[in-house]
Amino acid sequence: MTAWSGRSGRRFGRERPPRARGVWIATVVGVLVVLLVFTAGFLPLVGFLGGVTATTAGLVPFPFVRVTLVTVLGGLVVLGLLVLAVTRRRTVAAWVPVVLAVLVTIAVTVYPLVAVAVGSADRAGDVWPIITDLVRRVTG
């Protein structure tokens, strides 16, 4: 093959089909939805839960290390899924990782709320024996 043969692709094998416009649309929509959920859902929720923990002097526990770990790992998974979406050649194959990335983002957003609720329930179980002991002491 020479440069004058009119082929601009590879010398061996078949050329790849071009990326569909829907792939770019799916990826941009996925990035925008993930950023929207993160900024409008995750950040205010974590700020609220951190504030509740601060105002209750630790009675409502905030598992900082676990939330940070889940956030970092979830962010890596979302990033990988969005990269997978942009590397697809067909539109349908790009939408699947985009939807999965949005679902992972929602799961990471809900995790701090679940973790605080579980921690508070555990803490409430520890509080009842103290309250009953105080009531018993006061009533004699």
Q: Tell me the domain boundaries of the chain.
A: 19-139
Is the Cβ–Cβ distance between 133 and 71 less than 8 Å?
no
b/e per residue 35-63 (b: at least 16 CB within 10 A)? eebbeeebeebbeebeeebeeeeeebbbb
Is the Cβ–Cβ distance between 60 and 120 less than 8 Å?
yes
pLDDT at 8: 55
pTM for this model (two decimals): 0.78
For 92, the token pair is: 């349908």
pLDDT at 133: 75
Residue length of the chain? 140
Consecutive sets of 10 residues in the chain, 140 residues long: mean pLDDT of each?
53 72 95 98 94 84 94 98 95 96 97 89 71 77
pLDDT at 17: 75
